[in-house]
Structures are given as structure tokens and as C-alpha cells.
Amino acid sequence: MSPDEQPVAADDAGAPDGGDTGGPPVALPPDASRRLAELEDRPGHKGMFTSDLSVNEFLLVKEAGFHPLGFVMGSSIYHLGIQTRRWSQSQELAKLTEAMYNARELAMNRMDAEAMELGADGVVGVRLDVNYYEWGSDTAEFIALGTAVKAEDGRSYRNNQGKPFSSDLSGQDFWTLMQTGHVPLGLVMGTCVYHIAHRGLGQTLRTAGQNTELPNFTQALYEARELAMTRMQDEANALDATGIVGVRLEEKSHMWGDHTIEFLSLGTAVAKTDGEHTIPVPHAIISLDG
Amino acid sequence: MASDPALPEAAGRRLGSGAWSSGLSVPDFASCLSMGMDPVGFVQGYAVMQWSWYASSYVGTLGGPPAPTGAGQYSESWQCPHGFVGGDHRMYGFNYEQTWVESNWTNGWTLAYQRMVDEAEAIGAHGIIGVVDDMHHLSGTGAAEFQIRGTAVTVPGADPPPRPFTTFLAGQKLVKLVEAGFVPVSVVASLASVQMMGYCITHYQMAGTTAGNWSGTMSGGLGGVHSITQVGKAQRAARHLARERVRHQLGHDTLHGASLEQFDHEVGEGDLAIQCLIKGTRVRRFKDFDPLPVPDAVVRLS
């Protein structure tokens, strides 16, 4: 390792279950299967649903022609190992990017597996969180949570990969999106963990006392965000999406220090439904609430 | 479009890909479609600027020269009534415009804005809606990053304008603006920065003590309520400077959805750096106001 190389956490664990992280969902834990079985309607057993939808969301999901089936989740506890970085060079930390990506994919695949177990067409209100615990240094838990839903008209709304669509849209947003003649295809994301170079003494002296642009920093941050967004769009293209709505760009240093940042881009890939669609004219309202 | 030399390579790659992306929320997306606009891409611009506060040190503690200012810039000075008392006694106070902060902010914001507009032009956009901007200091670098993002849109069937219009508005607010007979022209923003180096009276006032019996310059007693003249003047000057600059950017147009934020940073004991930021959307009337239908009265169930 050269003197300006520093170790940072990176994926050295691979897929914890030894599986292909981008492949089909893994088998469910027995407890999950038991919980989901209790939700199903079958002869001699009246099913019920659980959901984290608010009452208004529930109403609008029903209005959109879907019925909630159950609250579904997936998680992955991932160990992030070591990757070297150059003190004076801006660069993507590819192994870390891969680790952050794979861990989220695992969590989402497990959530999808629960939704498929329920025969769902989609999952709405998906939340994707990362938690760190004191008991595991360089270890993080990635969790995906949402409410599985099924279309009441019997049509399949699964995407071109045969999976239930997932979406971080609220019940209200889900209804509104359907009114525009679009359907969600999947929660798409792109991530890029980037090391921003430290400035050397020479660079610092050359610009001492000046207020001026630092093109290297601009370029590095630009590149990192664009990479994350390009990867998100690649996922959307793989789903044959026409667009992505609600894109947000999150930036976190997690546990890596100031100069190493994860850029995470997230949004819901959508496709236009067939045929002409007229968007209802909005009504002007006056709220009678105080 | 992917090979536009004005764009970073990664931006060209992203904008050349198939699916469009949009930072609009779903309600804003629906409003955008209902207005006849199609989103064509999420566009962004960034600039990292070195941020030196090299000129912020106090220059007149014991009667040194007033802070340097150029012609037309705001500056004011105060002299204490006590004469020499001790080494830590501020005999002079100064308010002065920090042009280096203003020009650095303007350069950074404009660079980021231009880059966002360049991205939008590269994909043939007619405008950018739902613009959001931010500026934050990059920890441990002595640099500040300017970020400006928005959703590029086209209006099918319309001729492209010479430059894409830009607006902070999206969704129902944009719909209402057009209903009211205005179209957005561009976002405008201006920052004014005034440094206040307090003299002894200002220090006493800010500390909540009084020099009234001593100097005879204050009417209030200990704990009395009074305005702090030097601080008030610095704040008014910052607001006035920011307002005037925005007015200058507007030409004959109107400012819509203006927001004014003022930040007072303590840069030393009794010394303040006061910044005033005004932002809004420059709008132009294109038709007379059509009264809206009578609104429905509703009660929310939540």
C-alpha cells in the first residue's frame, strides 16, 4: 500500500447466503412463511391483511383498484470489509459501491419474495433504510419494508421480470399516478461510493486567499452523482420504463469520514398504459379546516 | 446530445439513455402533464468554490483604518464616546459590505445554474420546473458546493424558446400562476453580505448591559429594551442590497414566490456576518386574469 493509500470499508463478504444477489428471491425464513400463511385466504381459514398504510392511503389504494395483502419486508445484515483509497485522488470505490448495492438488492429481493408468497402484484410505500448497530463494526443492516397489494380486476401488474412492482409512492401518490395513465414498474436505484481527493499543499498554496472554483472537486462530485443516476436509469431501462418519477438524491458518509460519500439515487420507474388517457381536471377547493 | 462538449462526460451518458427521470413528486408530475408539459429529464448543475474568509478579520479595534470598500458599496463607521480605556475596548465600529463573499456566491450559483441549463438545452428542453438549490460547506476542505437541480420539460407543439425558462414552481403552484395569466421566465437569486464589527456601545447592548450612566448615549437602564443601532443598520443594509440586486435582475417583469432568508453568524465576540438571500421566480404577464370557478368547500378527514 502506498503512503497515501488508506483503508476504508468495502465488501469482502459477498452475498451472505452465497446466492446471486441479482437473481431470484431467496427462500423465506420459516417464521416469515408462517406469518404470511396466516394472512392468506384458504378453505377453512379466513385471511386478513396487515399494512402500514394510513386510513387515507388505504382508501385511495382501494379506489385505485388494489387490495392490500400484507405488510412485507426483507433485510440483509452486511459486513463491509476493506478497500484502499488514494489520499490525493478522487475515485469511485467500486467494491464499496458493489457492497452497498448488493446489500440493498438482497433486502429488496427478500421483500419481493414475501410479496410473491402472497401472490401480490406490487408493493407500495416501500422504505429502504440502513441501520448501524454497536455490536457490529463495519456491519450494517439494510431493510426494505412495504405493503403488498393485488389488483382487484384480476389483471397482472407484475413487471417484465415477473416480479411484483415495488414503489416508494404513498397511497395518495399511487392513486394519482394511476390517474395520469401510468403504472409503477419498480423502485429503481443507483449508488456510487466516491472518494473525494484531499487537496495537496501545492494546490492549497496556489489558491490561498482566493475565492475561486475548485474544478477537481466539482468534477468529482458531478461524476459521482451522474454515475449513481445513470445506474438508476439503467435499472429503469431494464424494466422497459418510459420514465422515473420522484427521483431523489441522497448523500451520506456513513462511517467512512468526510471525504468518502455514498451518492444514492432512488425513484419509481413508470410506464404509460396503453390507449388514450384523459387526466381529470383538478377542482379548486377551499379547506374548511382551521 | 451525449457528446455535447459543455457537459461532463457522465452527464452526457445519463442524458442519452432511454427513460426520462424527474425530480417531481407524483402530484407535481400529474399537474405537469395536465398543463401539456412532458418531463424529459432530471437536470443538475454543481460548482465547488474555494471559500476564504480572509478579509473578515477586525481592522479597527484600537482605531485602525476603516475596512476597505469600493465606490458605491455600503460602509458605515462609529466612534466610541469614551476615548482610550483599555486594550480590549472597541473604540471604533464598522459595518461594511463584503463584496468578496457576494461575488463568490454569485459566481458559484451562476456556474451551477448555467450547467443545469446546459444539461436542459442538451436534451432539447423548453424549460426547467421545480428548481431547487442549495449551498453548503464541504467539511474539512475550506470549500463550498453549490447545487441546483430541476426537471426539464418540453411543451409538445410549441416552438422552443431561445433559452429554457426556469422556475422554482411546480405542480399546482405553477398551474395557478399560469391560470393567473403569468408565465415563468427564470429563477432569480441574490445574496448580500454585510460584516458588522461592533464598537463598545454595540458590545454592551448585545451583552445586555448598559453604558448609559457612563456615556450618556443610551436611554435604557440595565436590562432595558432598546434597539441595537449598529446591528439594525447592518441588517437593513443587507436586505436593501439583496432587494436592489433582485430588482435589477427583474427588468420590467415581476417577482413571484419571493423568499427572504437572513443569516446572522457570530464571527467573533460582538461581531456579526449578516447575509440576506432573496430568491424567487421572475414572471411575465401573457394574458388577462381569468377568474377561477367558485371553489368547492371541503373538510379534510385527516
What CATH code is carried by the domain that includes residue A218? Answer: 3.30.110.70
C-beta separation of B41 from A247 below 8 A: no
Interchain proximity B48–A249, CB inside 8 Å: no
- pLDDT of residue B108 exceeding 50, the answer is yes
Interchain proximity B50–A225, CB inside 8 Å: no
CB-based contact, A276 to chain B, within 8 Å:
no
Chain B residues touching A279 at Cβ < 8 A: 30, 33-34
Would you mind telling me the total number of residues written for chain B in this entry?
A: 302
CB-nearest to B21 from A179, A207, A247 is A247
Distance CA B38, CA B165 (A): 14
Interchain proximity B42–A227, CB inside 8 Å: no
Beta bridge partners of A184: A270
- pLDDT of residue B31 exceeding 60, the answer is yes
Interchain proximity A209–B52, CB inside 8 Å: yes
Judge whether A186 lies within some domain: yes
Other C-beta atoms lying within 10 Å of the C-beta of residue A48? 11
Interchain proximity B26–A246, CB inside 8 Å: yes
Structural domain boundaries of chain B? 17-56+98-169, 77-83+180-288
| Pick from A11-25, A61-75, B132-146, B188-202: least confident | A11-25
Other C-beta atoms lying within 10 Å of the C-beta of residue B140? 12
Nearest alpha-carbon partner for A129 in A268, A266, A270: A266
CB-based contact, B149 to chain A, within 8 Å:
yes
Q: Which residue has the higher pLDDT, B296 or A275?
A: B296
Domain that holds residue A177: 5-272
Nearest alpha-carbon partner for A165 in A229, A121, A101, A114: A121
Please give the average per-residue pLDDT across B55-77, as a whole number.
57
pLDDT of residue A173: 92
- Give the Å distances, CA to CA, from B39 to B127, B130, B154: 10, 11, 7
Please give the average per-residue pLDDT across B248-258, as a whole number.
93
Angle subtended at Cα A131 by Cα A126 and Cα A133, rounded to the nearest 5 degrees:
155
Would you mind telling me the total number of residues written for chain A in this entry?
A: 290
pLDDT of residue B301: 66
The sheet carrying B165-166 orders its strands as: B38-50, B143-154, B127-138, B165-166
Other C-beta atoms lying within 10 Å of the C-beta of residue A288? 9
CB-nearest to B47 from A218, A245, A287 is A218
Q: Which residue has the higher pLDDT, B173 or B211?
A: B173
Search chain B and give the residue with CA nearest A289.
B299
C-beta separation of A230 from A267 below 8 A: no
Q: Residue B219 corresponds to which cell in the numbers above?
A: 436611554
**In chain B, how many H helices and how many E strands?**
7, 11
C-beta separation of A125 from A57 below 8 A: yes
CB-based contact, A58 to chain B, within 8 Å:
no
Phi-psi region of B123 (alpha: psi -120 to 50; beta: other; left: phi over 0): alpha
CB-based contact, A207 to chain B, within 8 Å:
yes
Share of chain B above pLDDT 90, in %: 49
CB-nearest to B20 from A174, A213, A243 is A243
CB-nearest to B143 from A176, A217, A284 is A217
CB-based contact, B108 to chain A, within 8 Å:
yes
- pLDDT of residue B59 exceeding 50, the answer is no
Across A270-286, b (16+ Cβ under 10 Å) vs e yields bbeeeeeeeeeeeeeee
pLDDT of residue A206: 76
pLDDT of residue B8: 66
Nearest alpha-carbon partner for B167 in B203, B140, B133: B133
Write the pLDDT tens digit of every residue in B223-246.
Answer: 556 788 999 999 999 999 999 999
Judge whether A66 lies within some domain: yes
C-beta separation of B281 from B184 below 8 A: yes
Average pLDDT of chain B is 83
- Give the Å distances, CA to CA, from B109 to A95, A211, A230, B139, B279: 34, 13, 24, 19, 12
CA-based nearest distance A196→chain B, Å:
10
| Of the options 2.40.160.60, 3.30.110.70, 3.90.1170.50, 3.30.70.20, the CATH number for the domain spanning B17-56+98-169 | 3.30.110.70
- pLDDT of residue B119 exceeding 90, the answer is yes
ipTM of the modeled complex: 0.76
Alpha helices by DSSP H, listed for chain B, are 9-15, 26-34, 99-122, 171-179, 200-207, 212-215, 229-250
CB-based contact, B13 to chain A, within 8 Å:
yes
Judge whether A253 lies within some domain: yes
Q: Which amino acid is at A27?
A: A
Q: Residue B204 corresponds to which cell in the numbers above?
A: 454592551
pLDDT of residue B66: 52
| Of the options 3.90.550, 3.30.110, 1.10.3470, 3.30.160, the CATH number for the domain spanning B77-83+180-288 | 3.30.110
Q: Which residue has the higher pLDDT, B131 or A19?
A: B131
Mean pLDDT in consecutive groups of 10 residues from the start of chain A, 290 residues: 47 40 59 74 72 89 93 88 74 87 91 92 92 77 93 92 92 92 94 85 75 85 90 93 92 80 92 80 74
C-beta separation of A131 from A143 below 8 A: yes
Nearest alpha-carbon partner for B121 in B41, B13, B187: B41
Chain A residues touching B299 at Cβ < 8 A: 287-289
pLDDT of residue B196: 92
| Pick from A79-83, B1-5, B52-56: least confident | B1-5
Judge whether A278 lies within some domain: no
pLDDT band at B139 (very low <50, low <70, confident <90, very high): confident
Domain count, chain A: 1
C-beta separation of B43 from B128 below 8 A: yes
- pLDDT of residue B114 exceeding 90, the answer is yes
Distance CA B151, CA A15 (A): 36
